[in-house]
Amino acid sequence: MTDKKQLSKIICMYKLLFVCLGNICRSPAAENIMNHLIDRHQLSDRVVCDSAGTGGYHVGSPPDRRMTFAAANRLGIQLCGRARQLQKSDLVEFDLILAMDRENYYDILALDFSGKYRDKVHLMCDFCTAHTIKEVPDPYYGGAEGFNQVIDLLLDACNGLLDRVKQEIVDSEQ
């Protein structure tokens, strides 16, 4: 018979939330790239991803068609999901909250009046291993090359993030 401690380790999910401004370009791309990596590493039963926007401009919209094209063209990944706005409850629900840039980072922290969840919030580029850029640029008003750059940057950051998540899963099981 399994004791309660072992059972809680078995059903424990690690939750990641990716956040940008409108939740139609960068954060859904990060969510879908991460889900692709999670599937490839057979961690779908342990890690769950979501994305949100600090602004409510595009709530209910699918990912931007240009970002969808870039993800399919560069990685063969189909972007899915619908835009939603970041909620204060997300600070409680998710283990790591990944902001695409500093403005999003500060907007997320503004929801945390007590500072209780500050340690959960990180810049996405903190997990890059090949790129030295500090923020994921918003490609919305640019051309195709900006979307391609974001896909490459997010793939690098998601790989680095996956290494951290795998380590935290191992540590939680000990």
Is 137 inside any structural domain?
A: yes
> Tens of pLDDT along 8-49?
444 568 999 999 999 999 999 999 999 999 999 999 999 999
Is 160 inside any structural domain?
A: yes
Q: Which residues are catalytic?
A: 20, 26, 138
Domain of 114, CATH number, reads 3.40.50.2300
> Tens of pLDDT along 56-70?
999 999 999 999 999
Is 6 inside any structural domain?
A: no
> Tens of pLDDT along 104-141?
999 999 999 999 999 999 999 999 999 999 999 999 99
> Tens of pLDDT along 90-109?
999 999 999 999 999 999 99
Contact 141, 119 (CB under 8 A): no
Domain assignment of residue 124, given as a range = 14-172
pLDDT value of residue 11: 52
Is 4 inside any structural domain?
A: no
Whether 1 shows a pLDDT value over 80: the answer reads: no
| Predicted structure pTM score | 0.93
